[in-house]
């Protein structure tokens, strides 16, 4: 029953989505040639007078979903694997699926305003050529500044990683399902912490950086804070997945000696996860160096900020040198961290 309701809702959503694409994109933009943003105001009049668009889309979706549930030509049934190979409904549903996919592609093309004319007109090509040739002649006069900026970035990433470590370590054990099965309280802690780390992790470090540049003064410090917050939740997740993967045997053996809970974790779990933790941590530092560069663009300090400054001044030769320095350092970090992780494995 639950599955059938979910399936009907799924078909409804897909139906409404089809209606939106057919009306907004195919009818308005392609057939009538009205530009995107202006169409929303005019569309009610063009469609059915007095009824808001979303209601019409919903109604069309509902009609399509009902038709799907009667005829069994349903994408939901297809996804749930309930349409067998020789049923005609399966073939029909596959056709509907390919229609949805092609319309999505057309919509995507319109929405992203892909324009080959813009890309390959003579004037545009000349502008791009100017920038590329400047980028390829890096201005070495600013090398000392660029080096000190990238060192700042590497340290920023290092501090973000190191300061995140203790919190990630503790959080990892508290959000590992196999360790938190004990009672209602531990299970509640597990659920809450999982939700919390998933939430903070889903916010990009770039957004954290914007928040922290408002909170503390612009510079490397807010950049470090942004990376640290993201690192805590990312490492906590990777660590806890590693903990959930351990061999439970040693834990059972330690428990059977009459050890206390903390001793069971320290002796039965930590030795098994220590090396993988180290490997994740080094990899995270490597990722953080790359992220720190991007965070610098919004005022998080380091080489990113420098890159942003020269871009504003349109000094493309200086920009070229900065890009070169970033590429070299990121490549070197990547290489070193890969070698260390190899040695650990």
Partner 1 sequence: MLLDIRSLSKTYPNGTQALKSVSFTVERGEFVAVIGLSGSGKSTLLRCINRLIEPTSGTILFEGHDVTHIKGEALRRYRQRIGMIFQQFNLIGQASVLKNVLMGALGSVSTIDSILGRFPQSLHEMAMRNLQIVGIADKASVRADSLSGGQQQRVAIARALMQEPQLLLADEPVASLDPATSHSVMRYLGYINRQLGTTIICNLHFLSLVREYATRAIALRNGEIVFDGSPSEITEEWFRHIYGEDAVEVEIR
CB of 239 to partner 1, least distance (A): 17
In the set 67, 253, 338, 344, which binds partner 1 (CB under 8 A)? 253
Interatomic CA distance for residues 157 and 227, integer angstroms: 7
If binding is defined by CB under 8 A, does position 183 make contact with partner 1? no
Q: Which residue has the tokens 């002649």?
A: 137
Residues 219-238 that bind partner 1 (CB under 8 A): none
Binding-residue total with partner 1 (CB under 8 A): 21
Retrieve residue 289's tokens. Answer: 């160096």
If binding is defined by CB under 8 A, does position 257 make contact with partner 1? yes
Burial, 317: exposed, middle or buried (Cβ in 10 Å; 0-12, 13-18, 19+)?
middle
If binding is defined by CB under 8 A, does position 166 make contact with partner 1? no
Distant-in-sequence, close-in-space partners of 68: CB < 8 Å, separation ≥ 6: 11, 15, 74, 75, 76
Distant-in-sequence, close-in-space partners of 259: CB < 8 Å, separation ≥ 6: 267
Choose the stretch contacting partner 1; rule: CB under 8 A; options: 109-117, 133-141, 262-270, 324-332.
Answer: 262-270
If binding is defined by CB under 8 A, does position 258 make contact with partner 1? yes
Half-sphere exposure of 123 (CA within 13 A, CB side): 2
For partner 1, give the closer residue by CB, 95 or 181.
181
If binding is defined by CB under 8 A, does position 260 make contact with partner 1? yes
If binding is defined by CB under 8 A, does position 259 make contact with partner 1? yes
If binding is defined by CB under 8 A, does position 276 make contact with partner 1? no
If binding is defined by CB under 8 A, does position 39 make contact with partner 1? no
In the set 137, 148, 191, 263, which binds partner 1 (CB under 8 A)? 263
Choose the stretch contacting partner 1; rule: CB under 8 A; options: 52-60, 202-210, 265-273, 317-325.
Answer: 265-273
Choose the stretch contacting partner 1; rule: CB under 8 A; options: 60-68, 204-212, 213-221, 252-260.
Answer: 252-260
CB of 341 to partner 1, least distance (A): 17
CB of 10 to partner 1, least distance (A): 31
CB of 186 to partner 1, least distance (A): 15
Chain residues in the site for partner 1 (CB under 8 A): 247, 249-250, 252-260, 262-263, 266-268, 271-272, 274-275
């Amino acid at each position: 029953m639950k599955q059938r309701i979910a399936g009907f809702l799924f078909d409804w959503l897909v139906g409404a989505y089809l209606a939106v694409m057919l009306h907004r994109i195919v009818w308005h933009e392609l057939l009538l040639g009205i530009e995107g943003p202006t169409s929303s105001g005019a569309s009610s009049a063009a469609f059915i007078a007095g009824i808001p668009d979303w209601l019409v889309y919903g109604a069309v979706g509902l009609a399509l979903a009902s038709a799907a549930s009667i005829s069994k030509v349903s994408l939901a049934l297809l996804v749930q694997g309930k349409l067998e190979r020789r049923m005609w409904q399966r073939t029909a549903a596959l056709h509907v699926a390919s229609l949805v996919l092609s319309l999505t592609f057309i919509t995507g093309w319109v929405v992203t305003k892909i324009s080959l004319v813009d890309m390959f007109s003579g004037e545009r090509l000349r502008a791009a050529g100017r920038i590329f040739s400047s980028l390829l002649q890096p201005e070495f006069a600013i090398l000392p500044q660029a080096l000190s900026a990238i060192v700042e970035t590497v340290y920023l990433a290092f501090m973000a990683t190191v300061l995140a470590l203790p919190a990630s370590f503790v959080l990892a054990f508290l959000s590992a399902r196999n360790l938190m099965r004990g009672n209602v309280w531990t299970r509640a802690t597990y659920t809450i912490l999982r939700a919390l780390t998933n939430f903070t992790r889903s916010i990009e470090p770039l957004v954290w950086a914007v928040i922290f540049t408002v909170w503390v003064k612009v510079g490397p410090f807010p950049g470090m804070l942004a990376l640290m917050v993201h690192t805590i939740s990312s490492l906590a997740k990777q660590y806890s997945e590693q903990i959930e993967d351990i061999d439970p045997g040693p834990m059972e053996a330690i428990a059977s000696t009459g050890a206390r809970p903390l001793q069971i974790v320290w002796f039965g779990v930590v030795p098994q996860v220590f090396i993988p933790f180290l490997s994740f941590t080094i990899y995270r530092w490597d990722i953080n160096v790359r992220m720190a560069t991007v965070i610098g663009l919004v005022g998080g300090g380091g080489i990113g900020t420098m890159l942003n400054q020269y871009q504003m001044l349109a000094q493309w030769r200086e920009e070229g040198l900065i890009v070169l320095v970033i590429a070299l350092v990121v490549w070197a970090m990547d290489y070193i961290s890969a070698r260390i992780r190899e040695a650990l494995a």
